[in-house]
A and B are shown apart, each in its own frame.
Chain A
Amino acid sequence: MAKSFSIRHQPGFTTIAAVCFVALYMPIIVLVVYAFNEAPSTSEWGGFSLKWFQSASQNAQVIDATLRSFQIAAIAATLATIAATMAALATTRTPPYPGLTFKYAMINQPLMVPEIVTGVALLIFFSRIKIFTGYSGLGYLIAAHTAFCIPFAYLPIRARLENMDLSLERAAADLYATPWQAFRRVTLPLLWPGILAGLMLAFVISLDDVVITEFVKSGGQDTLPTYMLGQIRRGITPEINAISTAFLLLSVVIVTLFFFVSRKRD
Chain B
Amino acid sequence: MIMICPGCSCLCDDITIKDGKIFNACRRGEEIFGRYKENRARAMVDGKEVDVDAAIGKAVEILKEAKNPAIYGLDTTVVEAQKLAVELAEKLNAYIDDNSSFCLGELVEAVLKKEMPTATLDDVRDNAYVIIYWGSNPFHSLPRHMSRYSYYPRGAKRPRGYDEDRYLVVVDVRKSETAVLAKKNAKFIQVDDDAELVDSFFKAMDGKAAKYAQDVGIILNEMKKADFNVIFGGLGLKYGLKDLKMFVELVKKLNEVAPVYFIPAGFHANMRGFNETLFEKTGYVNKYSFRDGSSDDSFAFTELLMNEKIDAALIVGTDPIYSLPHDVSAKLGKIKTIVVDPRMSFTARVADVVIPSAISGIEMSGTMVRSDGVRIKLEAIEEREVNDIHILKKIMEGL
Chain B associates with chain A: no
Residues on A facing B (Cβ under 8 Å): none
